[in-house]
Amino acid sequence: MLNKYPKNVKIIEVGPRDGLQNEPSLVSLIDKKNLVKNLINSGLKDIEVGSFVSPKWVPQMAESAELINAISPTKQDDLNLSALVPNIKGLESAINTNINSIAIFASSSETFSQKNINCSIDESLERFSEVFKRTSASNLPVRGYISCAFGCPYEGDIDHQRVIELTTKLLELGCYEVSIADTIGCGNPSETDSLLHGLIAAVGRETIAMHFHDTHGRALENIEIALSKGISSIDSAVAGLGGCPYAPGASGNVATEDVVNLLNDLNIKHGIDLQKLIASGNEISQALGRRNSARVLQQKEAPSQGLFPIDFDNNDA
């Protein structure tokens, strides 16, 4: 075990996509645009802004193209705006925008794959091979996701070897990085340690990212295990937004504010202004008519109950 934290961590902000897609209140294009601009202003460089799926199934993502093209004039050279695509049809829609990269998603559960994208795992990989032919011609980088890597709401426990094999296949197809997702938030530190031990042995740590939901309040513990193994790419959603519309019981993603707070506590650099990030989370939460679920806010009110100490002056650790 490496047991050594990376010096720098890249946070992939998934709030505008994975966060908003399962929020019950529809968000206006203006509010989405403000959210992304606020996130950029806080220092985030990698933001998943939308999804090119059928608006019939995920209505919150219906304005993804408009959002991307509205934001793109403000983008910087080091800014990566990405969008999720399920198939070649979604890719064609994405290519017609000013998107910087795309993401694809496979499942480690056959049942979840059928319910999520209406095909088997093998069929999904066949679809993605067509996507890669098109992205290769367009020089568009592709990031992969593996959902239900720690457990499935329909099948229960997932064999780690299946996750390792699927990760390997996605990297062989051409993904520059694969995000291992705890879709329903059932993972624990011991399992995270075990899965990463096998994954790192098989594919190395440089192409692995982690994506945790905080269903049982263990996301930060799991992230710290991943960091201790040298993983330096972490997904999170501002204000702990979201869940998954096809995974019953999936709660919100781990809050970006809490991940930044943890990184500050561990003296790991990330380049994000925590106070601006909190303001971003508060604004979108108000638009949704919900509470910002980031624990760092609860800690500010009652520090003795927090998991990690807060240093609001350490915003660019």
- Among all residues, which ones are annotated catalytic? 244
Q: Who's near 132: CB < 8 A, 6+ residues apart? A: 142, 173, 174
Per DSSP, the three-state class of 92 is helix
Contact 284, 239 (CB under 8 A): yes
Alpha helix (H) ranges present in 139-188? 160-173
Which regions of the chain does DSSP assign to beta strands (E)?
10-13, 46-51, 80-84, 101-107, 142-147, 177-182, 208-212, 233-236
Strand partners, 102: 83, 142
**Residue 17: which of 123, 131, 94 has the closest Cα?**
94
Query: What is the amino acid identity at position 213?
Result: H
